[in-house]
Chains A and B, each alone.
Chain A
Amino acid sequence: MTKCRGRRRLHLSNIYAFKGRKSSFQEDHSQIGGPGFSRVVYCNEPNSPASERRNYAGNYVRSTKYTAASFIPKSLFEQFRRVANFYFLVIGALSLTSISPYSPVSSLLPLAFVIAVSMVKEAIEDWGRKKQDIEVNNRKVKVHDGNGIFRQEEWRNLKVGDIVRVDKDEFFPADLLLLSSSYEDAICYVETMNLDGETNLKVKQGLEATSSVLHEDSDFKELKGVVRCEDPNADLYTFVGTLHSEEQRLPLSIQQLLLRDSKLRNTEYVYGAVVFTGHDTKVIQNSTDPPSKRSRIERKMDKIIYVMFGVVFLMSFIGSIVFGIETREDRVKSGGRTERWYLKPDDADIFFDPDRAFMASVYHFFTAVMLYSNFIPISLYVSIEIVKVLQSVFINNDILMYYEENDKPAHARTSNLNEELGMVDTILSDKTGTLTCNSMEFIKCSIAGTAYGRGITEVERSMAMRSNGSTLVGDELDVVVDRSGPKIKGFNFEDERVMKGNWVKQRDAVVLQKFFRLLAVCHTAIPETDEATGAVSYEAESPDEAAFVVAAREFGFEFFSRTQNGISFRELDLASGKTVERVYRLLNVLEFNSARKRMSVIVRDEDGKLLLLSKGADNVMFERLAKNGRHFEEETRKHVNEYADAGLRTLILAYREVDENEYIEFSKNFNEAKNSVTADRESLIDEITERMERDLILLGATAVEDKLQNGVPDCIDKLAQAGIKIWVLTGDKMETAINIGFACSLLRQEMKQIIINLETPHIKALEKAGEKDAIEQASRESVVRQMEEGKALLTASSSSSSQEAFALIIDGKSLTYALEDDFKKKFLDLATGCASVICCRSSPKQKALVTRLVKSGTGKTTLAIGDGANDVGMLQEADIGVGISGVEGMQAVMSSDIAIAQFRYLERLLLVHGHWCYSRISSMICYFFYKNITFGVTVFLYEAYTSFSAQPAYNDWFLSLFNVFFSSLPVIALGVFDQDVSARYCYKFPLLYQEGVNNLLFSWKRIIGWMFNGVFTALAIFFLCKESLKHQLYNPNGKTVGREILGGTMYTCLVWIVNLQMALAISYFTWVQHIVIWGSVALWYIFLMIYGAMAPSFSTDAYKVFIEALAPAPSYWLTTLFVMFFALIPYFVFKSVQMRFFPGYHQMIQWIRYEGHSNDPEFVEMVRQRSIRPTTVGFTARRAASVRRSGRFHEQLNKNFIAF
């Protein structure tokens, strides 16, 4: 509690330069009360008549798709939006009429079943969301109940106007108007990770009018106030309102609004008034349904379905013509005679009336469409859905994609895209947080011109490999640097010269001390002391910042407390050699922003000296050094460049002593500027701080590593071997990006780098001049010229058939022009010709645009992977968005299709799960059409023998249960369990993945092949059964064949054949397959017996047909056996020949496994290597290249470096 008290006195806003500014939205406030600004909130009196009248929505939030009431109609509607389901609904409706060839129940029941299964799936998914809703809505928050007492209340019961108290680390239950906080000036820190994915803390500040009077629970007893503000909207960054309180009208801005789903940090508590509740809150207004994506295969499947519709209509049409002609032949001829008199055509209704043969054939057309409806697999969609859900369950449960460290398994958020994972052609990857950990580690520093730090970065390691061209060095480095062991987060520094207090022995100990002090003082981090252990941890706006404070702590300068105007830290006293506490008075913080690229603090040390401590980017800092402050400039510059080369982020540290008078002057101007309300307030502040931050004395530089994630180079290598192209889209500087590119083997020495940027002197000169049009013109021309030159290089290289690889590196500004409509084709051409593409300095919008360009330009599947809010556009644009569920919040994950914890899991996700799902789904769909064509064609052939009168060959129930009962489970098992190649071999032969990229398993060739197989099987079944059961006696009792016997026999053959075909087609037999395949066949016989035993009024012509007629007749069994084998022989021959003489890649691997060649490294290598164009990216390629190079004479290193 004492700590809390201490905090209450803090007036942090005074020392911040840019925060805590007064609202400057005066002009907007005139709109209050007008259209769009009509909301009125009666604070602290949510139940007053005035606010009751307003009747704003409650705080109950519903993210479910359905409610209990709307579930049935809405989900039914969803189901019938699918063309196939709608078709079956129409068929079902038609079956109620008299033109139906079968009984309505038999066609409606399977449809109902299929729809019911889909709806149950929907319901289960929605139930999951419902549970989440219940959890959220029942969270507790303290609400003022009118007498100065706050009591616990569920979130859902909050009303507009309620006063709530939110404690530290709690989420805000609604959009709140900040009234006061534990800090005296009503500021509070807010973490908005759930809103924008940024982990840094944001400062909000309440109005002085409210914060000055409201400190305790009891202060709220008498509070009255009316807020008039804008209507609910989705804009997270603006808020316009006024607070009417005691004759005052106070303007409110976004500074006073605490948004739902953000979290209170570093502040003991805040009081707030509820302004927007539930669905009116900005975060929920903002949530859009993610774009629904469909996989390529499903889109192709739709095409097949349309083709099948075409076939159905064509067959019906043919049938109708023949039927029409034959019906007309039945006309009453001269003499009152009729041909097929037994049909009584003279007394027929419209459907069979020879005199109205045309109408009869029209009716017949509809009947036939119903009859052939079995061509369209009714259960296809639902089966695929079930399969995909189960596949997702497997993905979610994959133990090899589970990340121990933050307890995150993989999570397939949509199951729609599983098979698309097996077809990825290009990966577009974010860098920070995706390829790298986004945990900054202080690794090196340069102080007083001396470089410290022995840590070796991933990049350095790869650079060492680069220059030595041998993997040995890398291995040696691995030995030297032991990266395991207990580690401090954010600190990976090793140098005995400065560690453990040894720095005092250094020659420049005084500079070292200043350097470390600066690290300990110049920041905006907030310390947290663990009461039990006394250990100090820090909350910082960015990971870099935290790394600095941690580093200072490790060097012995432990910052442990921040007060309103003081910074306390412990340090080693140089003179006494003891640890002493020092308190610096903090006068001003000149914060970091991207324009300034530096931050400074002005402090008064214990001796009363005024110091300006500053840190910033090299280009802004070096020019601010004083003449006498450039002592170590040369060395420092050298070190900074080295660090940058090693992929590190560098900052320059400098300071100066400030003259007392100068500070007074500054302080006066600064405060004036801060309190001004003019439009140029900010530039005024800029100018004043600018004047202050000059004549600095250089101390040194820091280097922070943005660490590569574990296994990233390996993973990239595997993906490259699989023939997947990887593009890196990053917001980072070009140098950093190139370094990371080297580190993860996307770039290597032999590659020709085509660099496109606008850093030419000419354009720089233009920029100085500031002529906008001229700059644009020149830039555009420059970019186009560079692209053309690059393209020329590519063509030259490909015509000379040398195996040169190219890398394209382009910066954000150039990208703007390259992505213009006129040039994007050119850009894509160039980029696809390069082995690696790196886009640096790219904005989120550009990331999305590049993704769209690749997706639509190449027509191939793209996968975007990223972790931050800035990747959301890219993730939603790409065919598949993969979110890294890492540290940068949930935004990317929420908009992704699949979330994984680490980049390296992409390897397993794509090469194993992707490949499996792809091969499963494509086999499954092919098989589906095969079995339905087989079924449908037998029906058609039989109908041809009934003079196209639409008489079905099979009993109604046989007809309708085929898809649902006798052939559904094996195909689902295929879709869920089949493995053409085991996971081990998927890794071993990454090239297998190309089967998906080239879509070999779902090519029209294969689809049509299967369809043809289906037609053949149908012909075999029908004609063989017909011949062997011809008009003659059927059994030893002299009985003959009726319709039910022919139908029963054909159907038995059908069930056997489609299931045996399945057994032949799959390459992975577990007990599951055995159960479902043989079970389906057994089920048919069981069904036949049960159905046959039912009363004849229900079973009609299937009554006792098995027991009495089929089973005792040897010819039934002989026919089944014969037809069964005959129909499968062609496929068997085809598969034998193909397997042996023309194996596909997966079949080759099957051979390798089977023949035990996998232990014969030479053979395996041959299959792996010879089978594709040489890989150009990844360390395998690098190794291969270095072998090649050592054979040739040594080329000059920079020769390949082509910069335009």
Chain B
Amino acid sequence: MSSNTPSSSAAAAAAGSVDPSAARRNSKRPKYSKFTQQELPACKPILTPGWVISTFLIISVIFIPLGVISLFASQDVVEIVDRYDTACIPPSDRANKVAYIQGAANKSCNRTLTVPKEMKQPIYVYYQLENFYQNHRRYVKSRSDSQLRSVKDENQIDACKPEDDFGGQPIVPCGLIAWSLFNDTYTLSRKNQPLAVNKKGIAWKSDKEHKFGKNVFPKNFQKGNITGGATLNPKIPLSEQEDLIVWMRTAALPTFRKLYGKIETDLHKGDTIEVNLQNNYNTYSFSGKKKLVLSTTSWLGGKNDFLGIAYLTVGGICFVLALAFTVMYLVKPRRLGDPTYLSWNRIPGGR
């Protein structure tokens, strides 16, 4: 943690000056340098009215346009959100949703979405879960990165308890995250024409290439007495199981979206989209919502007005502050150096 070279050289100089073995005529006079005498040329900024007002003005001048641009970007995004967790349960079963979802009944469900505006491809399909703690520590830790990466590490399942092995054989991929893989499926069609949802390229490239092995195949997955979520095709290597890869990158917050696939055709305003979905995933136990989301993107990402509004607000506040300070400086010019309020003058006797 050497504070940087100059100070250590100063220390060395000091050490030299106290060296007792140095001959007497070797003066202990400290060497003069601007550095050791603490006289380095320095900028000594001071918050003058000019600086304060111009700082606020500059911030507002930058922030307001940025806010406008961000807001426009967010407004350009077309987003269709459809909550289906309750709707997809037959009214008769709604009293006990958990029993329904855990039952053996047919879970397929049809939803109809209307496109409100032109949507340019690529249109991204997401599922959104709420009140699902993918960031719970027990959950986050319950995976084995090395096992996912290479076959020879498939026995490294220590972190995966209780989803670690099946009958003494390691589960690949092990752990709670993989075990609870989301398993609702969506089949989209427009005007009775199937709408292709491309499920390739939905995962981060680095995950596909470096974290999930090309020759690691699912083993003993979902063989336990309780099935968690989706099953995996044991023929396909993990690096190709993009749904799993997406799911395994745990969300930051209890409400999250995960990419399901891409629609690579434009959708037009007024189009109705039929969604045939398999409502398999149990969010009912913990009263979690499930939503299907179709969204385009802008340069900034998805639909989120927050950033634009925030920029505008802060830009505005800074503008107001600039005005306020101008007024204050004009109205209340204070004779500087009036020391009557210095704290030690207020104490009687000064002690």
Question: Which of A1108, A1152, A1167, A1173 meets B206, CB within 8 Å?
Answer: A1108
**Contact status of A1033 and B29, CB under 8 A, knowing A1041-B252, A1115-B307, A1140-B47:** no
Question: Which of A351, A1028, A1108, A1144 meets B304, CB within 8 Å?
Answer: A1028
- In the complex the two chains form, is A390's CB within 8 Å of B128's CB? no
Chain A residues contacting B70 (CB-CB under 8 Å) are 1118
The residue in chain B whose Cβ has the minimal distance to the Cβ of A1074 is: B43
B42 contacts the other chain (Cβ, under 8 Å)? yes
Chain A residues contacting B37 (CB-CB under 8 Å) are 397-400
Chain B residues contacting A408 (CB-CB under 8 Å) are 28
A57 contacts the other chain (Cβ, under 8 Å)? no
Chain B residues contacting A832 (CB-CB under 8 Å) are 351
- In the complex the two chains form, is B1's CB within 8 Å of A1036's CB? no
The residue in chain A whose Cβ has the minimal distance to the Cβ of B40 is: A1070
A interface SS class? helix
B334 contacts the other chain (Cβ, under 8 Å)? yes
B270 contacts the other chain (Cβ, under 8 Å)? no
Cα A340 to Cα B137 with chains together (Å): 13
**Contact status of A349 and B161, CB under 8 A, knowing A1028-B307, A1136-B52:** yes
Distance (whole angstroms) from the CB of B35 to the closest CB of chain A: 9
Cα A1029 to Cα B252 with chains together (Å): 10
Give chain A interface residues in 953-994, CB to chain B under 8 Å.
964, 968-969, 972-973, 976-977, 979, 983, 994
Contact with A along B152-188 (1 / 0, CB 8 A): 0000000001110000000000001001100000000
Distance (whole angstroms) from the CB of B343 to the closest CB of chain A: 6
Chain A residues contacting B17 (CB-CB under 8 Å) are 396-397, 409
Give chain A interface residues in 381-427, CB to chain B under 8 Å.
382-383, 386, 389-390, 393-394, 396-400, 402, 404, 407-409, 411
B237 contacts the other chain (Cβ, under 8 Å)? no
Contact with A along B305-349 (1 / 0, CB 8 A): 011001100100110010001001100101011011111110101
Cα A1042 to Cα B250 with chains together (Å): 6
Cα A1069 to Cα B46 with chains together (Å): 11
Question: Which of A343, A1029, A1172 meets B136, CB within 8 Å?
Answer: A343
Flag the segment in B6-14, B109-117, B272-280 that touches A.
Answer: B6-14
- In the complex the two chains form, is B38's CB within 8 Å of A348's CB? no
- In the complex the two chains form, is B42's CB within 8 Å of A1166's CB? no
A200 contacts the other chain (Cβ, under 8 Å)? no
Question: Which of A723, A968, A1157, A1171 meets B1, CB within 8 Å?
Answer: A968
- In the complex the two chains form, is A397's CB within 8 Å of B10's CB? yes
A1027 contacts the other chain (Cβ, under 8 Å)? yes
Cα A1144 to Cα B338 with chains together (Å): 10
The residue in chain B whose Cβ has the minimal distance to the Cβ of A1167 is: B337
A884 contacts the other chain (Cβ, under 8 Å)? no
The residue in chain A whose Cβ has the minimal distance to the Cβ of B132 is: A342
Chain B residues contacting A4 (CB-CB under 8 Å) are none
Chain A residues contacting B3 (CB-CB under 8 Å) are 386, 390, 969, 972-973, 976
B211 contacts the other chain (Cβ, under 8 Å)? yes
A9 contacts the other chain (Cβ, under 8 Å)? no
Distance (whole angstroms) from the CB of B258 to the closest CB of chain A: 6
Distance (whole angstroms) from the CB of B332 to the closest CB of chain A: 7
Q: How many residues of B contact A (CB 8 A)?
A: 122
B45 contacts the other chain (Cβ, under 8 Å)? yes
Chain A residues contacting B128 (CB-CB under 8 Å) are 1031
Distance (whole angstroms) from the CB of B159 to the closest CB of chain A: 10
The residue in chain A whose Cβ has the minimal distance to the Cβ of B182 is: A342
A1038 contacts the other chain (Cβ, under 8 Å)? yes
- In the complex the two chains form, is B344's CB within 8 Å of A1036's CB? no
Distance (whole angstroms) from the CB of B54 to the closest CB of chain A: 12
Distance (whole angstroms) from the CB of B196 to the closest CB of chain A: 16
Contact with B along A1088-1128 (1 / 0, CB 8 A): 00000000110011011000110001110011011001100
The residue in chain A whose Cβ has the minimal distance to the Cβ of B302 is: A1033
Flag the segment in A508-516, A777-785, A942-950 that touches B.
Answer: A942-950
Question: Which of A393, A1115, A1143 meets B301, CB within 8 Å?
Answer: A1115
B80 contacts the other chain (Cβ, under 8 Å)? no
B59 contacts the other chain (Cβ, under 8 Å)? yes
- In the complex the two chains form, is A394's CB within 8 Å of B36's CB? yes
**Contact status of A1033 and B124, CB under 8 A, knowing A409-B17, A1129-B314:** yes
Chain A residues contacting B202 (CB-CB under 8 Å) are 1038
Cα A349 to Cα B339 with chains together (Å): 66
Distance (whole angstroms) from the CB of B51 to the closest CB of chain A: 8
**Contact status of A1108 and B204, CB under 8 A, knowing A344-B162, A1028-B307, A1119-B307:** yes
- In the complex the two chains form, is A1097's CB within 8 Å of B28's CB? no
- In the complex the two chains form, is B38's CB within 8 Å of A983's CB? yes
Distance (whole angstroms) from the CB of A559 to the closest CB of chain B: 30
Question: Which of B256, B259, B337 meets A1148, CB within 8 Å?
Answer: B337
**Contact status of A946 and B15, CB under 8 A, knowing A1126-B314, A1136-B52, A1139-B47:** no
- In the complex the two chains form, is A1034's CB within 8 Å of B211's CB? no
Flag the segment in A80-88, A437-445, A753-761, A1043-1051 that touches B.
Answer: A1043-1051
A1040 contacts the other chain (Cβ, under 8 Å)? yes
Cα A709 to Cα B229 with chains together (Å): 89
Q: How many A-B residue pairs have CB under 8 A?
A: 348
- In the complex the two chains form, is A1033's CB within 8 Å of B138's CB? no
- In the complex the two chains form, is A1040's CB within 8 Å of B256's CB? yes
- In the complex the two chains form, is A1096's CB within 8 Å of B210's CB? yes
Distance (whole angstroms) from the CB of B269 to the closest CB of chain A: 21
Cα A1051 to Cα B206 with chains together (Å): 21
Chain A residues contacting B55 (CB-CB under 8 Å) are 1132
- In the complex the two chains form, is A1072's CB within 8 Å of B6's CB? yes
Give chain A interface residues in 481-515, CB to chain B under 8 Å.
none
Cα A1043 to Cα B257 with chains together (Å): 12
Question: Which of B13, B145, B282, B301 meets A397, CB within 8 Å?
Answer: B13
Distance (whole angstroms) from the CB of A832 to the closest CB of chain B: 7
Cα A972 to Cα B8 with chains together (Å): 13
For A337, A983, A1119, the residue with the greatest tally of chain B CB atoms inside 10 Å of its CB is A337
A914 contacts the other chain (Cβ, under 8 Å)? no
Distance (whole angstroms) from the CB of A1125 to the closest CB of chain B: 6
**Contact status of A1097 and B27, CB under 8 A, knowing A342-B132, A344-B163:** no
A563 contacts the other chain (Cβ, under 8 Å)? no
Question: Which of A128, A349, A1031 meets B253, CB within 8 Å?
Answer: A1031
Question: Which of B46, B63, B176 meets A1125, CB within 8 Å?
Answer: B63
Distance (whole angstroms) from the CB of A424 to the closest CB of chain B: 14
- In the complex the two chains form, is A1032's CB within 8 Å of B44's CB? no
Provide 26 A-B residue pairs closer than 8 Å at the C-beta atoms, listed in order of the A residue. A338-B285, A342-B132, A344-B176, A393-B7, A397-B14, A398-B36, A409-B17, A723-B344, A1031-B257, A1034-B302, A1035-B297, A1035-B301, A1038-B262, A1040-B256, A1042-B252, A1067-B45, A1069-B44, A1071-B40, A1104-B206, A1113-B301, A1129-B314, A1132-B55, A1137-B328, A1141-B332, A1151-B336, A1154-B44
Apart from A390-B10, A1032-B304, what are 13 other A-B pairs with CB-CB below 8 Å? A131-B20, A337-B98, A337-B285, A344-B162, A723-B344, A1028-B310, A1038-B297, A1097-B146, A1118-B300, A1143-B336, A1148-B337, A1155-B336, A1172-B342
Q: Hey, which bits of chain B sit against chain A, CB under 8 A?
A: 1, 3-4, 6-7, 10-11, 13-15, 17-18, 20-21, 27-32, 36-49, 52, 55, 59, 63, 66, 70, 98-99, 102, 122, 124, 126, 128, 132-133, 135-140, 145-146, 149, 161-163, 176, 179-180, 202, 204-206, 210-211, 228-229, 249-259, 262, 282, 285-286, 295, 297-304, 306-307, 310-311, 314, 317-318, 321, 325, 328-329, 332, 334, 336-337, 339-345, 347, 349-351
Q: Hey, which bits of chain A sit against chain B, CB under 8 A?
A: 101, 113, 117, 128, 131-132, 135, 335, 337-344, 347-349, 351-352, 379, 382-383, 386, 389-390, 393-394, 396-400, 402, 404, 407-409, 411, 723, 798, 832, 916, 945-947, 949-951, 964, 968-969, 972-973, 976-977, 979, 983, 994, 997-998, 1000, 1024, 1026-1047, 1067-1072, 1075-1076, 1096-1097, 1100-1101, 1103-1104, 1108-1109, 1113-1115, 1118-1119, 1121-1122, 1125-1126, 1129, 1132-1133, 1135-1137, 1139-1145, 1148, 1150-1155, 1157, 1163, 1166-1167, 1170-1173
